Each structure stands twice: as structure tokens, then as C-alpha cells.
Structure 1
Amino acid sequence: MFKLIGLCLLAGVLVAGMLFPVVGAAGVMSNQASETVEKTSSDLADIPPPLVTTVTDNAGQPIATLYDQFRLPINENQINEAMKWALVSVEDKRFYEHHGVDWQGTLRAAVSNSTGADTQGASSLTQQLTKNYLINVVYRNDPIGQKKAQEQSISRKLKEARIAINLETKLTKQQILANYLNIVEFSRQIFGIGAAAHAYFDTTPEKLTVPQAALLAGLVNNPINNDPWKHPDKATARRNLVFDRMVENKKLAKADADRFKGEPLGVVADGPKKGAANCIGAGAEDGFFCQYVEDYLIKAGFTKDQLYTGGYTIKTTLDQRANHEAKASAEAQVDKTQPYIANTLSLIKPGKQRHEVVALAANRDYGQNPDAGQTTYTLPAGVYNSGGAGSSYKVFTTAAAMEKGIVGIYTPVDVPENYVSHVFTGGGDSCPQTGPPLRSRWYCVGNAGDYSRVAQGANIQTALATSPNTTFVELEDRLGSTAPAIDIARRLGMRDTMASTIGGGTADPKSQDEKKRLSQAQVYGPNGNNPGYGAFTLGFSPLSGLELGNVGATILSGGVWCPPTPIGAVTDRNGKPVPVKEAPCEQAVPEGLANTLAVGMSKDDQPGGTSFKAASGAGWNRPSIGKTGTTQANVSAAFFGGTPQLAGAAMTFKFGGGRGGICDGGPGQVSLCGGGRDGNIFGGHAPARTFFGAMKNILDGQPPADLPQPDPQYMGGGAR
């Protein structure tokens, strides 16, 4: 009884359905329903399908793919006859006869389904195109919308039918077929025949054989159930059914069908052939760079969904040779599986128009297996070195004092064994033993080693090369607060670093926790009567290695700061350029100051300089700038500098836990000392060896470039 009633109701609706193309919405649907259909039709036209975004190096060589749906679009001329007839035969054999809706097939399916016979489908390929477009494109992130697009209701069928008829008035049969084959799912994030041909058979749609086409045509009905790797028996049965339907449709000889049924499925071994859906596909070496590209573009205004569905081509500034040398050098110093230690190297091209990042490398591999030394944290670029860069920050105190005319690079300076600040408070390990009041009130500092020889005839240039702590805390005293040094650190390049919290995270103004609410600039800078933290010049705060390297690029660019960009060009799915919003370059400090500071930093790799041993060991013989740094208890160390052609920073730091400082017994022998012991690593050890080891090979064959000439205004600048 209920089946008979249902059949009668369906018949009435189908009659109305056959009429509505003629009488219009007024005779079948309400105006509201008609508007819904038109809106859906518009959605089909206005919402493009998700495509694969390709990330390339600076030579245009692909390094990674980003996608939500692995889809390689094709046009109607790229579908061969085997694929066309396999699909039409099994899904809609009257495709070339009807006008969007196969009423004969619909009535036959209705009778069969309502009388208890085998359930049969009734949708034409044009209708299936409509449904698949709604599911896979319009509502791909909307489970409710997807459910509505698949509900077994008369109203949904009528809407789908009307859209299909509308599409048939606007598109040719070949265009409809191509659109369908571009949209339909083939399981495992594989969408469209272009991607399916590649992933299943490592071929293109034009080259599909009859058995290959039959397998793919059979998949669209239930791709998960007929997955040839998980369910080869079901996939074979479904493929063979397609052969039979092609025979029935007179598109394949029975003898050929019987022969094809005996062939293996022939899919590629070990699952579909397709790149990873994210930066994991860039591999162990290039993954950090790819991740920085993604993060950079999101910061520039792209959404992650746009990047993973937009079908962009992102040409980056990555130099794969430089990146390989950087990775090899970082890993030569610290093994990738060494627990709790990261060793990174970031390299940037100086310039007054752009600062292009060419390499972002680490001893760790980029990946998701920590046991194999892998991580997806952007160690070379992010604010992950929580230990700090040590004495590298003395450059900021120096630059601030030069800008204010307090000193020049040849100004004589004192190098006392200990120094007690008369500006900053906070105690210290090197206070003279004159009683508790002094220890509790003033900031006291000593040197790490004997500087008695350096003290004779020392000036700012030699102090930068030998790095006595006392000299730069005294210089910071003369500035009166940390504000000038913090400000110039930000201007020269430490922008995200200074804006981050003391834990390295993003400052949240709404947080009740000061450590999460305040930026480093706020925490370490003056506040009321507090002139700031005197230890700022000794670099104990979290930082980004990429930004520290960009400081070197700014100094070597005549004081012009530019954002460290990984972007060469971005084009959309149609090949049109896409503008990327980047911060404009700016003159961070006077050019004369920057040029003179470069000369002031030019002796670090010379005899007596803190990186001399590492530089000479690498055979380094180019004019360059440099500054090393080591933090308290040797929990991290750094080196930054460069030449006019290439600048950068290397950092060795604790990452992910562990106790004790870092000990350095030479290349490949860097590890935590364990317990509460201080280590013996310094910026002139693993970081400097990493830097010079990579730079020597990268710049090999390029003529040495001279450093700029100093400006007399910043050469003297005061007396001792």
C-alpha cells in the first residue's frame, strides 16, 4: 500500500518536473524556490573548484604542493574516447540523447525502486555534476549543506533537475563531461580525472587505456568502497561491470571485454601517487622554508583556505643549493637526532629594495617524526631560541650610542674586570663583595675570561671583536636606559622578536598574565622610574634567528631595513599576478651609521676576534662583518654577520627540554652536559662554524666584495 502511494506521488511530481521547463517556476514551484534554484545555479558558476597550489624555488622548480583536494584540471580535449565511453556507459548511457534529465531512466528507476526490485540510480551525468559540485565545492566545508545536497527528497531532485536542464542550455555535452570529470571524487583527497590518472596510473587522461578508464569510471559510484588498494576484489568486480556496460552500449567488443577482465588492475604500487598536501612534501631540507612561506602569506592577508584551494603558483626566493649547504653545515655541527639541541642557519640577501631569504635550515629535519629528529616548528625563522643570542645584542647598544654621538667605532673604551652599573638595578653574579645593599640594588657584571690584554688600547671596534661584557654595560649606562638599544634593535630587524612575549609567544593585550600580555620591548624597556633591564645588551631574551640575520642584511644595505621576504611572485589559477602585501623598506638608521658600524664589526673573524678560529678553519678570506654571542650557563649561542652579497645568522640552542648547558667538543660533538652544569659552548664555536662552513661553499666562485667606507661622523664620537 505505502509503496503504491509513494509511486503515485512520485509519478505526479515527475509529470510536473517534465512540465516545468515549459511552464516555468510559476507552474511548479513558488517564486522563493525558483530563486533558490537560480542562486544555486549561480553558485555553480561563481564558486571555483579547489585546486592545488604549487610552491617552487627561485628557479621555478616545484618543491611542494598545498591542497585540500588534489585536483589537476583538464579541458574537454584532454579526455580520450575510452574514458568518455566508460563513464557514459556505466553512469548515463543516454547522456548524448537527453537534455539534462533522463526521464525514461528516471521512471524506470522509480518503478524498480518502488516495487522492491534492485535499487537503481536515476540521475543523469548533468544532475550528478550538480550534486557533486554542491558537495565537493559549494558545501565542501559545510556538513549540513552537503547533507541537503544528498537528501532523498522530491524537492531536492526537482531542484537538481531544473539546474541540470539549465546547464544543458549553456554548456555543450563535452563541456559538461569535462566539468563532471574535473569535480568528481576518486577517494583519498583525489578529485577529477587529471589527478586520478596521475595518482592511480602515473599517466594523463589522454593516455588512459580502456582497462584504466573502466576502473576510474567504476570508482565514481562509490570511491571508498571500490578503492583498488584497500578493496582490490571490489574494484575488479566494479571495473568488469563497466566492461559489460560498454559492451551493452556497443562501445566495446565482447571479446575485448573478456580479455580485459583477465588483466590486473595495474594501479601504482603502495597507494596513489600524489604529493603531500602540505609543506611535508617539501622534504627534510626545504620544509622549513615552505612553512615560512605559508606563515608569511597568511600574515600578509591570505587565509589558509585560500592557499590550500586557490591553485596559486608561488615562486619563492629559495636557493636550493644555498639551502642544501646551510643544512649540511648545520647538521655537520649538531646531529639531527641529538636530543634537546637545535642548530639553525638563516641566510638573506642584503639590498635597498628587497631582503630576499635564500635559505632556512636546521640540523633537525622538517617532518612529523620526533624520534628521527624531525619537527614542524619553523626553528630557523620563528621565535624559538628561548635562551637568547647573548653578546650579539651588544651591536644594538653600540648602534644606539653611535646614533646619539656618544661613541664612534674608534672611540677608546675601558675594559674593567668587573663593572657595577650606576643606572640599572637587578643584582648580578659579579658584584664586588662590599655587602648586601650593593648586591641587591645595582646591576653588576663581569667578563667571561681574561681581558687584560684587550684592555690596552681598546676601542669600540676591538670591543665588538673581543666582546667584553663590562664595556657594553658601561656603554648602556651612558645611554641612560635600555630604550635606545631596544628601539634600534627593532628598527634594524628584530621586529617580531621585540613584539613577542618573554616566552616567545604573541602578546595578548587581554591576558591577565603579564608574561603573556606584555611584549619584550615593554618588559625589558623603561617603566616609570625603572630604566629597564641592564642585561638586555647581553642578549638573554627569546629571538628569531631569521630576524637576527636580517639585522646583518640591514647593516650591509646602508641601514635600509626590508622585511625578510620568501616571495618572488604569486600567480593565480589563470596565470595572473597576485599582489602580496609586504611592509615597505625603510631607512632604519642613517646610511653613514650603518656603513661605519659594518666596519666596526669587521674584525670578528680576524686574529683575536671571537670567530677567528671558526673562520680560519673554514678557509674564510672575504671581507665580512660578524658578532658572536653566548648566554648565561651556555644554554644557547649565536653568530650573525655577512658580506655585501649574503647575510645571516646561526644559532645553537636548547629546544624541547633537557637539563644543563650545551657542551661543544667540536663538529658533531655538541650535546647537553647534563645535570645543572654550565656548558662550554660559545658563539665562536658551533654557530660560527655553521655560518662560515656554509657561506664558504655558497659564495665559492663569486668575487669578494668590499665593505662600505666608514663615515667620519661615526668614527670618533667621543672620548673615554
Structure 2
Amino acid sequence: MPPHDETSPVGPRSGSVRRPPSGRTAGGSGGGGRPAAGRGRPPAGRGGRTASRTGPAARGSRTAGGTARTRKQRRKRRLKALLGVVAGAFVLLGVFVGVVYATTEVPDPNSVQNAQTTVVYYADGTTEMARLGAENRTNVPLSEVSEPAREAILAAENRSFYSDPGISATGIVRAAWNNLTGGSTQGGSTITQQYVKNAFLTSEQTFSRKFQELFLAVKLDNEYEKNEILENYLNTIYFGRGAYGIEAAANTYFDVPASQLTAQQGAVLAVLVRSPSTYDPESNPEGATDRWGLVLDAMVDEGWLTEQERQASVFPPVMPRTGSNLGIPSESQGLVVQRVIAELEAKGYDEQQIRAGGLRITSTVDKRYQDAAVSAVSEVMDGQPENLREALVSVDPATGAVRAYYGGPIGAGDGAVDYAQALRQPGSSVKPYVLATALEDGIGVNARRDGSSPQDFADRPGLPVRNSGGASCASCTLRESLTRSLNTTFYGLAYEVGAERVRQNVLEATGLPEAWPDEPAYGTLAGSNTLADPQTGGTGASIGIGQYEMRPIDQAHGFATLATGVEHEPYFVARVTDSEGTVLLEYNGDAGDRVFEEDVVNDVTYAMTDVAAYSRRSLDGGREVASKTGTQGQGEDNSDAWMVGFTPSISTAVWMGNDSPAQPIEDVNGRIIYGSGLPGAIWQEYMNTVLDGTPEEDLPDRALIRGDTGEGVPAPQTEAPTRSPQTQAPAPSTPSTPPVAVPEEPVTEEPVEQPVVEEPVVPNGGTGDEDTGNTSPNPNGGGATNPENPGGVIGGQSAEATAGAGAAN
């Protein structure tokens, strides 16, 4: 092999340097064709020079320079490409904007009223229940709106209206930023944008809707005169109290036409534009006055009002609210509409969106169920005393959807009271919750307790508890005691398992809060603990026989929880779309919270299955149903009567009473009303109607929890339970024999004469609110509006605040 320098390249070199001939050898003294030294190619130095010229170091230096130039070139190429893409994007955007602008059509202003009308439907989504916003609207030309009123609106909403291009650059930037950061999509909009949004677009808060708003605003500004836009805007705004447009607002708030509005009156209306309900001078005089002053200051800044006129300005007197129904039906379904509105408000919808947003609202209320409720009340109460009041609420146990809701015959306006929201003492209808608490402790439904009457208890010395009609059973099973509604058994059972534990179970099953809201609408119960003595805040064993106030909707809710063991919050709104059909809200109920385990649910249901037959309120065809009656008494009279029950598919509560606890509830024949009487008849007729043609659903036929971990009593040996000499049928002597005896009269319960008189809660008085103008009787001589419960007034307390139990059956 020819020798070579280890540092010289193996491959061809650059330049004129040639590879040595293959015959050349490496020698020490010359010979063999080796060139002479004088020719300038030293034997060993050649390779070194070559290495210095063409070795790795030389190549590296040349590569580094080339790489630097290459990187610069690449950056230039990338920058040019990026600039090209950006330029292309701008071109495409310009083309897109041009096309969209050219194809965007401004809707006919005559379509505004139809778009703003909100429609409420029954559960089928097609049968109308109500139309909101279709009244109290008068369009007027701009010339018939006083100049000071126009200037007040401009000062509050868009001072540069006559000079801007219809959109606000700051508003666009704010909307883009909020969309990117997840913030609110609302910002400062021009009057043109507001008009477009309110008149032609949906209430959907998205970037695409904002984008559409901008295009329409610009095109509208180009196609219409500013005065035309302002005129349409002033005729479109919702000012609250059902007033659409400035002419209706001037009449509603000041009883003058818009042409006569002063600057001070115009400033009041300008304040209402952003939030009519928040800044209504009657409900929020301080807030309205503060904002009113800011509007006048802005008018001074614009030269529309002098400083002297500003200093002399006083807040103008405003007309009181009237009893306008605002599109809410005056019939019973109007109370359903009010529940729908209240629920949407709780979800964040404002008054403008609800009453003037053109929404399509599908409620959960089934038309057939609602008709059945109204029909049952009407037929059963035909010819009965007019002072009697009724409520019926029906809930789907699987979801919490309210299927029927009857709180009274008047849905809105004068005399409207929602008795489904009234706080009343539930009597014996709470006993299933006590049984459920005992079952959690391992006390089975066949466990026996002393149900003799009267009985003294350690927590109420000297105040014995008695059973209805003198009934007594020294050793009845809990199932028998529930069927016969023995007060002494369930007062004692609540005392045994702990009144506070019973309270917690009721709260969880019904979704009631720990305390009633501290608001005037709740009367003397405002701010006090729920299901507790309002004076002491404590809960006694009398919870076991229904001393503490609940509402009819709470009992329908609670029994729905007993039916499944899972609590679902009742709801009225299933779906909301805009006028174009875009879905804004779809709701099928919450996931639910488990309150009772399945074995407890099984056994409570099993224990309640004989009550309907015992009360002569069985359903058609022997359909199985779990139920409980309840009566709250005052001496020998009754003030409240209940019938509550469920199948796996529906839970229904019926309440009956009157407006004054001093007046007993009596039927047309002067007989005292009990839970199994008129309320039971309404419940029975309603349940038969709505369940007709539906599959029969099985209920448990045996108990799962056996034994007794508590304070039981032995089974009777020879003595049968004593029989009431009045109306009560005898209880069975053994647990294996269900109570089947039925009294001659459909009424089976009688109140117990108590050592301490107990007054049930009655609806507290109230004044009309913005939505309904409702009023209600107040036996205590006062009144309180309930803002959380339009159409219904709640409040009051039990007169027996310290004694404990009253008559409950």
C-alpha cells in the first residue's frame, strides 16, 4: 500500500494538488522515482501543507461563513413568506368583509314587535301558555319626543351618536379581548348597535353575534338617517313596568306624552335603559337618584343643560306601579308563568331579555297534567265555601320537573296569591320522614312502639300528646301506626331518634335552606331557622307530627325524594331558544343527591302503601300508590289539611286551608275538613286522571330492614288496640294483618283537643309587585311583598312557639 500522511485527506484535494502516483514509495534516502528536493515538494512537508490548506480546520472556517449567510437568507425567505401570508390574509379578509357586507340585509323595522315578543310554552313546546311583551307599546315619530328627553338618552347612552359611524371602536376591541380571555362579551355599544341587538338579533352572548351586530350597525348607519335610527331606537327600548318605547314609558312613569317630557323626566327614563328593574325609582330610589344625577351632569358637559338648570333640578315624582299583568295570564296558569320568569331571573336572564328578547321558553308543565289539576280542584270544590284555599303541585321524581302547578284560581293581577308557595304546618304528612330516620338506625317498620293516648314526654312536661279521635294502640308496628296516623307513636319516635336528625333529613329531602331568607316577605319567620321554633331556633320532637312550616311545593319535592331516595331540585324551564330557534338553554334536571339508601326507600314506601285504602282514597284499578294524609288542628277545629302521595313516576301534594287561622276549615255542610276529605278527593281525582292509560308500576310488598335497635315494646298477647268511639277504625292486632277496616265516612281523621292552642301559618299580606300587581290577605294587619315569589306571599308563625305539638293527623 502506498504510504500517506495520516493527517492528509484520503480523497481528492482541491486546487492543482495531485495524488502521488501509485508506484511512489516512502523512502528514507531517495530513489525509485521520488522527486528531487529542489522541485519544491518536500517528502514530508507536503502533506502538512496540504493539511493546513485543506484539512478539517480550513473546511470548518469556510462552512461557518457559508452557514451564517445561509441562515440570513433563510430568515429573509421566511419573513417574505410570512409577509405574503399576512398580505394574503388581509386581502381575503377584505374580500370576506366586502362579501358579507354586501350580502347583509337590514331587517324591516316593522318586524321588531314580533321579534321582541317572548312566548312561554307547555312541555310539548308547541302549545302556548303566555305571550310576554305584546302590550303597552305605542310608536311615535321623533318629532313627538321632546328634545330634552332625546338629549338625556344620548347623554346616558351615546353622546357621539350623530358623528360616529354606527359602531364603537373601543367596544369592538373590548368585545374581542373579552372573547379571547373568556370575559363578558358585552361592552359599551352605540345606540345603533343597541338598536340592532334589541330589534334584530338574539340575546346570545357570543363573538359571532357581536360580529353580526357590527355589520348590521354599519350598514344600518349607511342606509338610514341618524334621526330614523334614533326614532326606531326610542320606540324599541324596554323601560320596565311593561312599557315598550318612550311614549309608553312617559305615560307609565309620568302620565304624560313623550312630547311633554322634561329634561329631568327624560333623565329618569335614560337611567332605566340599562336595567329597568334595578333602577326603578319605586323599588330603588337611592340608586335611581344617583344615576339620574350622572345623566344630568353629562347633559351639562354636552351643553344640553346649563349649570343653573342642573342646580335647580329635583328628582321628578314617579307614578306608582299599576296592576298590569304584562302578558301573564290572569287564570291559574299565570302562576306557572311567574315561576318560569323567576327561574330564568335566577339563571341570570335580565328583564330586558325575558320580556323583550323574543325568547321561546318551553316549560316542564304538561298541559294534560295542568288541566287535570285545574279540573280536579274545580269539580271537587264546586259548591264549597268560597273562603277555602287550595294548592296542588306535581313533580317527576326522576328529574324534579314540575308537571302540574296550581296555586290558586287567579294567576296575575288583583287577588292573585300563590298558595303553592305559602308556608303552612304540614301535620302528619311529615311522619314518613320520621320513619325514614328510624329505618336508618335499624328500626324496622315492623318494630313496635307505644301508641297509647294520651302520653307525656320528657321534653314537654304537663302537656300530653293525644291521638286523633281518641285512638290508642299500646303495641302497634310502625307501619300500622303510620297508616292510622298515631301522633303519640311518631312524637315519641322523633324524640327517640333525635328531632335534629329528623330535621336534617327533611331539609335534605325537600331542598329547604337552613334558614328562611331574612326578607319582609317571610313575615315573622324571616331569618329564623327552617323547621324550628322561630323564637328559640331549636327543633323539638313535635317535628314528628308536623308543627313546623313547609310549603305545598316542598312536600311534593320531599315525597319525590322518598320515592327514589335521590333529591332533585324542582324546575320549571326545560328549554329556551331565541326567535330564530337558536338554543340558549337546555335543562333536564340536576344529577341529584342521594338522601336515603335503597333499603330505606323500599321500606318507607312499603309502609305507606295502605294509607290510601285506609283513607278511602284508593286509585282506579287498584293501582299501587304510597301516600300520607295530614291535618293540623286548632282545638277542635282544623286549619290545614293535606294529602300527599307518589307512584314511581309522579309525586303530588294537595293542601287546603284558608287565609285566617281563626276560622276553621269546614265544608258546605259545616263539617270539619280532614286530609282524607276534600284534599284527598282532589288528590285522588287528579292522580287517576294523569295516570289513566299509563303502565302500572309496582311498589315494594315487603320490608328489607328487620329488627329493632331502639326502644321497642312487646307484641300484644290478648288485647287488641282500643277502638275510637267516633270515626277511627280499629287497628289490626298483629303486624301480619294489614288495616283494612274503613270508616263509614270518607273522613277518618279528627283533630286532638290540645292543652295549648296552636295557630298554623297563613299567607302573609302583600302588595302588588312590578310583574303582577298581586295582593293577598293579611290576618295580622300588615303586608309584605315577596320579591323572590311573584304572585305568592308567604310568612307567619305558629302561635305555639314553646309548647311543642299540636293536633296532627
Contact 2:631 2:674 in 1 (8 A): yes
- Partner SS state of residue 63, structure 1: strand
Once the two structures are superposed, the pairs formed by residues 429-578 of structure 1 within 5 Å of their partners are 438-439=461-462, 443-452=463-472, 455=473, 458-479=476-497, 481-493=498-510, 495-496=512-513, 499-500=515-516, 505-506=521-522, 515-523=525-533, 532-557=539-564, 559-573=565-579, 575-578=581-584
Map of 1:510 onto structure 2: none
Question: How many angstroms does 1:551 deviate by?
Answer: 1.5
Matches of 1:299 and 1:605, distance apart in 2: 38
Map of 2:371 onto structure 1: 324
Question: How many angstroms does 1:692 deviate by?
Answer: 0.6
1:682-711 CA deviation, whole Å, 9 max, x = no partner? 111111111011111111111211114656
1:342-363 CA deviation, whole Å, 9 max, x = no partner? 1111111111xx1110111145
Counterpart of 2:444, as a letter, is G
1:235-290 CA deviation, whole Å, 9 max, x = no partner? xxxxxxxxxxxxxxxxxxxxxxxxxxxxxxxxxxxxxxxxx985753341311211
Matches of 1:302 and 1:184, distance apart in 2: 22
Question: How many angstroms does 1:317 deviate by?
Answer: 0.6
- Partner SS state of residue 578, structure 1: strand
Map of 2:639 onto structure 1: 635
Once the two structures are superposed, the pairs formed by residues 41-440 of structure 1 within 5 Å of their partners are 51-60=116-125, 61-67=127-133, 147-149=151-153, 159-163=160-164, 170-171=218-219, 176=224, 183=233, 185=235, 189=243, 281-334=328-381, 338-351=385-398, 354-370=399-415, 375=416, 377-380=417-420, 382=421, 384-386=422-424, 388-405=425-442, 407-422=443-458, 424-425=459-460, 438-439=461-462
1:90-135 CA deviation, whole Å, 9 max, x = no partner? 98xxxxxxxxxxxxxxxxxxxxxxxxxxxxx9x9xxxx9xx99xx9
Contact 1:331 1:362 in 2 (8 A): no
Does 2:699 match 1:707?
yes
- Partner SS state of residue 610, structure 2: coil
Distance 1:304-1:398 versus aligned 2 partners, 3 A rule: farther
Counterpart of 1:359, as a letter, is A
Distance 1:572-1:458 versus aligned 2 partners, 3 A rule: same
Counterpart of 1:57, as a letter, is Y
Unaligned runs of 5+ in 1: 1-47, 73-86, 92-120, 136-143, 196-219, 225-275, 426-437, 508-512, 674-678
Distance 1:695-1:180 versus aligned 2 partners, 3 A rule: farther
Identity %, equivalent residues: 19
Contact 2:434 2:490 in 1 (8 A): yes
Map of 1:603 onto structure 2: 610
Map of 1:591 onto structure 2: 598
Map of 1:648 onto structure 2: 652
Contact 1:330 1:690 in 2 (8 A): yes
Question: How many angstroms does 1:56 deviate by?
Answer: 1.0
Question: How many angstroms does 1:413 deviate by?
Answer: 2.5
Distance 1:543-1:173 versus aligned 2 partners, 3 A rule: same
Distance 1:158-1:67 versus aligned 2 partners, 3 A rule: closer
TM-score by length of 1: 0.57
Counterpart of 2:418, as a letter, is T
1:454-484 CA deviation, whole Å, 9 max, x = no partner? x3762111211110111111112212x3101
Bigger helix fraction? 1
Matches of 1:476 and 1:63, distance apart in 2: 44
Counterpart of 2:629, as a letter, is T
Matches of 1:409 and 1:619, distance apart in 2: 27
Contact 2:332 2:408 in 1 (8 A): no
Matches of 2:244 and 2:518, distance apart in 1: 44
- Partner SS state of residue 575, structure 2: strand
- Partner SS state of residue 683, structure 2: helix
Map of 2:101 onto structure 1: none
Contact 2:332 2:411 in 1 (8 A): yes
Counterpart of 1:663, as a letter, is E
TM-score by length of 2: 0.51
Counterpart of 2:468, as a letter, is A
- Partner SS state of residue 392, structure 2: strand
Matches of 2:676 and 2:260, distance apart in 1: 58
Contact 2:134 2:327 in 1 (8 A): no
Contact 2:392 2:655 in 1 (8 A): yes
Question: How many angstroms does 1:392 deviate by?
Answer: 0.7
Question: How many angstroms does 1:489 deviate by?
Answer: 0.6
Distance 1:651-1:503 versus aligned 2 partners, 3 A rule: farther
Matches of 2:435 and 2:258, distance apart in 1: 71
Matches of 2:326 and 2:633, distance apart in 1: 35
- Partner SS state of residue 476, structure 2: coil
User: Which of 685, 692, 696 is the matching residue for 2:684?
Assistant: 692
Matches of 1:294 and 1:337, distance apart in 2: 33
- Partner SS state of residue 379, structure 2: helix
Contact 2:135 2:327 in 1 (8 A): no
Map of 2:663 onto structure 1: 660
Aligned residues: 472
Question: How many angstroms does 1:519 deviate by?
Answer: 2.0
Counterpart of 1:565, as a letter, is Y
Contact 1:385 1:653 in 2 (8 A): no
Matches of 1:485 and 1:699, distance apart in 2: 32
Question: How many angstroms does 1:640 deviate by?
Answer: 0.7
1:406-440 CA deviation, whole Å, 9 max, x = no partner? x2112122220211112x23xxxxxxxxxxxx42x
Matches of 1:186 and 1:623, distance apart in 2: 56
Counterpart of 1:284, as a letter, is E
Contact 2:329 2:412 in 1 (8 A): no
Map of 2:87 onto structure 1: none
Matches of 1:503 and 1:686, distance apart in 2: 34
Question: How many angstroms does 1:584 deviate by?
Answer: 4.7
Distance 1:391-1:522 versus aligned 2 partners, 3 A rule: closer
Matches of 2:554 and 2:677, distance apart in 1: 21
Counterpart of 2:626, as a letter, is I
Higher deviation after alignment, 517-526 or 686-695: 517-526
Matches of 1:169 and 1:619, distance apart in 2: 63
Higher deviation after alignment, 396-405 or 49-58: 49-58
- Partner SS state of residue 332, structure 1: helix
Matches of 1:686 and 1:169, distance apart in 2: 61
Question: How many angstroms does 1:586 deviate by?
Answer: 0.5
Distance 1:631-1:553 versus aligned 2 partners, 3 A rule: same
Counterpart of 2:449, as a letter, is V
Contact 2:532 2:540 in 1 (8 A): no
Distance 1:280-1:658 versus aligned 2 partners, 3 A rule: farther
Question: How many angstroms does 1:543 deviate by?
Answer: 1.6
